Chain A
Amino acid sequence: MAEEFRVGRIVTLAVLCIAVVGPIALLVLHALPRYPSPASVLATDPSRMSLLDLMLTAALRTVGVSAMASAISLPSSLIAAFGLARLGPVALTVVVLVLALPMFLNVLVVILAWLVILQPDGAFVWLTTVGFAQSLLDALRHSTLASVIAIVNVLIPVQTLLFIYSIKQRDDSLVDASLLLGVSRARTFWSIDLGLLAPSIAGVWAIGTLITVNLYLIPEFITGPKLTMLPFLIQQAVIQKFDLAQAARLAMVTMVVTLVPILLARLVQLRLGGRG
């Protein structure tokens, strides 16, 4: 049967190789041959030390922000998933739709909304008249916390949908068996409900960090230069400096940075003995 599909196979493989593997291969070729070791760079051009410092700082910040935001959104997503997974099919479809909307509108809408919310004397100034502390809005403005909250806002729908999927895959008879054997509801929840989800939690956290790397515009617009992430340095290298070699090098570092949480999650999943 498959032989009749030979043309389709060749076309699909060709398209995927050209459009997926091609750009990444070109990127690697562009970055690696010219990539000198940090020591040689400093020996030949001490002024580049600041660039390396900047890259290292941004890389650490990227790892920190993405790991933190993903970890912060996990409990809310889990609670929401446990609550929503109990709904009937029609209500669940509507909720999935409601969660899917912000998922697609994420970056632009979240940035616009938070800029309005945090704008001094802006659209949300009425909050102060109903007892909402002005000082809280002032403290949030241009803070790291504001960006993290905005990123969490984007991550929750994705993580909730993934958790709902995992909960739906679970065998409910295990919970029933545990309760019939006289195990308390709390212990059953801890050992069965959360225990079975543990590999998924690691996987969903890793996916959250990966998504956060793509949300680098949020910290840039909401907090400003003090929270510049690695991808924004890439954008500057391409758009402002037209330096594709530097952009390619930074992109390689970004790839490594995003691989770390994925590998960590995979290790945790292997230790827990689940696929996640």
Chain B
Amino acid sequence: MIMNKVARLSLGVVSMLIVGFVMVPFAVVVGVGLDESDGLVFPPRSLSITSALRVFEEQNWRDAIVLSVLVGLFSSLSAVTIACLAMLEVRFAANAIWRHLMRSLIILPAFIPTIVYAVGLVIMKDHTGVPAVLVLTAGHAILAVPITYLMIRVGDARLPQSMVEAAYLLTGSFRSVVTAIVLPRLLPFFGLGWLVALAISLTEPILAIFLLSDGTATAPQLAFSGLRFRFDPLIFSSGAVLSLLVVMSAVTGMFFWIRVSRHEA
């Protein structure tokens, strides 16, 4: 019995140490990015959000962050729309082949290395002449689609089939079932999926490196370009800003999750 308790306690301690190890880079970047001194100091002597906001004083960093946020917003909304349509198809399509085809297509991007997809997008951009920012937005949306779809499917799996069938019997309209029952009940999951897609787009560097020039870079792309030449404290400020944006997304995501749990309770 005592051995069991010791084993459980040890397992708990080791698990927390592993979680701590995972958080080290995050703590270092946020710490260095928020430190008021100009050098790379860790642990930070004094934390201040203003030091992270220095990144907005530089024109190229400001443009890069604005572009990242815009691409993130459009790509995440596109990802949620595609994932939602695919979920409806998988749920309601009578033909099993359609369902399998849709499921395979929507999950496929998760199994394609990002670098391979990036080369494909560069070739597509060259062939079609579509502006690079649009291709990047579509690319980020596709990268986020599998995980967004899975999140929406989690919500869909919790939706009782009997409720959907009863609504269809009562209204006789597919549109009413979707707009009055399915979509409102899945709203928190759309929110979660949207936040995840936004976080993916905000921090994804590879597609941007391939598609955009340094003159019209996203924030992660600019950080990598800068890293090649020198240690610029602004890179850490941008890292801290991106980290804080993702933390905000995560906290909002938790709010959605708690809302779902309360709703179900």
Contact = CB atoms under 8 A, between A and B. Distances in A.
Contact of B124 (A22, A97, A258): A22
Contacts of A254: 113, 115-116
B239 A97 contact: no
A16 B235 CA distance: 35
Given A26-B120, A84-B15, A113-B25, A19 B40 contact: no
B223 A23 contact: no
Interface string B5-42: 00010011011101101111110110010000001111
Given A4-B174, A112-B227, 7 more contacts: A12-B82, A13-B102, A23-B124, A24-B116, A97-B250, A105-B25, A109-B29
A27 B92 contact: no
Contacts of A5: 88-89, 92-93, 174
Given A12-B82, A19-B141, A79-B15, A101 B123 contact: no
A23 B120 contact: yes
Interface in A126-141: none
Contacts of B253: 97
Interface string A142-153: 000000001001
Interface in B104-130: 105-106, 108-109, 111-124, 126-127
A48 B126 CA distance: 26
B41 to A, nearest CB: 5
B102 A12 contact: yes
Interface in B186-242: 196, 199-200, 203, 205-206, 209-210, 220, 223-224, 227, 231, 235-236, 239, 242
B152 interface: no
Contacts of A111: 227
Interface stretch (A35-43, A52-60, A234-242): A234-242
Interface of B: 4, 8, 11-12, 14-16, 18-19, 21-26, 28-29, 32, 39-42, 82, 85-86, 88-89, 92-95, 98, 101-102, 105-106, 108-109, 111-124, 126-127, 138-139, 141-142, 168, 173-175, 177, 196, 199-200, 203, 205-206, 209-210, 220, 223-224, 227, 231, 235-236, 239, 242-243, 246-247, 250-251, 253-254, 257-258, 261
Contacts of A101: 23, 26, 243, 246-247, 250
A108 B239 contact: yes
Interface stretch (A168-176, A197-205, A214-222, A268-276): A214-222
A123 B122 contact: no
Contact of B26 (A109, A119, A160, A251): A109
Contacts of A247: 119, 122
Contacts of B32: 112, 116, 123
A93 interface: yes
B120 A27 contact: yes
B85 A93 contact: no
Interface residues of A, number: 82
B19 A1 contact: no
A80 B19 contact: yes
Contacts of A21: 105
B138 to A, nearest CB: 5
B166 to A, nearest CB: 13
A234 B119 contact: yes
A248 interface: yes
Contacts of A114: 25
B78 to A, nearest CB: 8
A80 B123 contact: no
Question: Lowest 6 A-B CB distances belong to which pairs?
Answer: A83-B15, A23-B120, A113-B25, A123-B42, A4-B174, A113-B28
Given A119-B40, A124-B42, A16 B98 contact: no
Given A12-B85, A16-B105, A93-B254, A105 B18 contact: no
